Chain A
């Protein structure tokens, strides 16, 4: 005898269990990569990723203002390994990367490493400078921030019609792009890539 409601109830139970299991499995899988990224996989044990030279970085276009910085261009940072991160303060995934960015900044800033956060707003309230300053203070972002309110730099750096937050590029001491990653995660690989780039002869 066919009982659709019984089958549907069993189906809902099965789906709920699958979703619950997926949450648990996913939490276990990514917990280390978001909350304690470096502690989980020490950088020294991770081989650096391939770091092919992809040529000079694109220009910064229509940068409105630089915050927390005396420099006003990436050229002024040549000689340093630079992490260029595209972010916006309302983006949850961007915020999830900040603890790791802090860790990198504290670990390597005295060894020739700099971070430049290029703030490209998704929504209008994220474009107001006062809100960005307040958010940077709240989030503890202490590195230089370049404001890209028109998102021309955001789109000119990223190929294709769709650009993403967060996205990190690593520039070597000559200003060439050597590594990039979209989204959260790969923290240990990013750390290892910075170590490898810092180890390269100037």
Chain B
């Protein structure tokens, strides 16, 4: 399982992991580095990884294009939630952890991983039987979550007052993410094409 764990860590440096990683890191930051949220985020990612290799759930290209901004909108709502009366449930640590885990799970639906040797072997073997591959994909998903752990530790190292005093920043960030998410719905392909061209020219 160590090779799978290591391959996942290397994959975190590649763009194909961003759709899984960015929402999870943002949730770790939004939930202010709480361990309960980190456990929920990892659990959501592992559960999504199991479904991924089971190959029972998948989004079509059209669904991906139409829904590319949904995760951004969800994160934005969580950022704003503590300041909106009808979303106060999300200000409870357990409620936020549940949302964080849900976001990381949902992010796995958009995830199109880089399939290296280890993940490739897991996927190939999973076509013959999923159960035997659950430990390996669990190790892979936990490896992919290592940057989230770093984000948790960084948040815990920060002065708590620095986080609580930035109410306007949380709200502005949330509104910004909701807006960005709404604008990117349906433009997934166009954005990726643009980014790819920028990075190769």
Q: Hey, which bits of chain A sit against chain B, CB under 8 A?
A: 4-5, 7-9, 11-12, 15-16, 18-19, 22-23, 25-27, 29-30, 33-34, 90, 92-93, 96, 122-125, 151, 159-162, 164-166, 180-186
Contacts and interface: CB of A to CB of B under 8 A. Distances in A.
Interface stretch (B22-30, B70-78, B146-154, B176-184): B146-154
A90 B143 contact: no
B57 A161 contact: yes
Given A26-B7, A166-B115, A183-B117, 14 more contacts: A4-B157, A8-B153, A11-B156, A22-B6, A22-B143, A26-B9, A93-B114, A124-B193, A151-B61, A161-B55, A164-B115, A181-B120, A181-B124, A185-B116
Contacts of B94: none
Nearest to B14: A92
A153 B114 CA distance: 21
A34 B189 CA distance: 29
Nearest to B7: A26
Contacts of A122: 112
Given A15-B146, A184-B116, A186-B121, A25 B7 contact: no
Nearest to A92: B114
B197 interface: yes
A5 B146 CA distance: 19
Contacts of B59: 161
B9 to A, nearest CB: 5
Given A12-B153, A123-B192, A125-B197, A162 B115 contact: no
A9 B154 CA distance: 8
B3 interface: yes
Nearest to B150: A15
Contacts of A7: 156
A186 B121 CA distance: 8
Contacts of B121: 183, 185-186
B9 A19 contact: yes
Interface string B1-22: 0110111011000101000000
A128 to B, nearest CB: 10
Interface in B120-150: 120-121, 123-124, 127, 143, 146, 149-150
B150 to A, nearest CB: 6
Contacts of B7: 26, 30
Contact of A34 (B57, B112, B117): B117
13 contacts: A22-B2, A22-B9, A25-B2, A25-B6, A34-B117, A90-B196, A92-B114, A93-B114, A93-B120, A123-B189, A161-B55, A181-B120, A184-B120
Nearest to A164: B115
A26 B120 contact: no
B162 to A, nearest CB: 12
A31 to B, nearest CB: 11
B9 A185 contact: no
B9 A125 contact: no
A185 B118 contact: yes
B152 to A, nearest CB: 9
B117 A186 contact: yes
B150 A162 contact: no
Q: Among the interface residues A5, A11, A26, A96, which one has the most CB atoms of the partner chain B within 10 A?
A: A26
Contacts of B165: none
B41 interface: no
Nearest to B194: A125
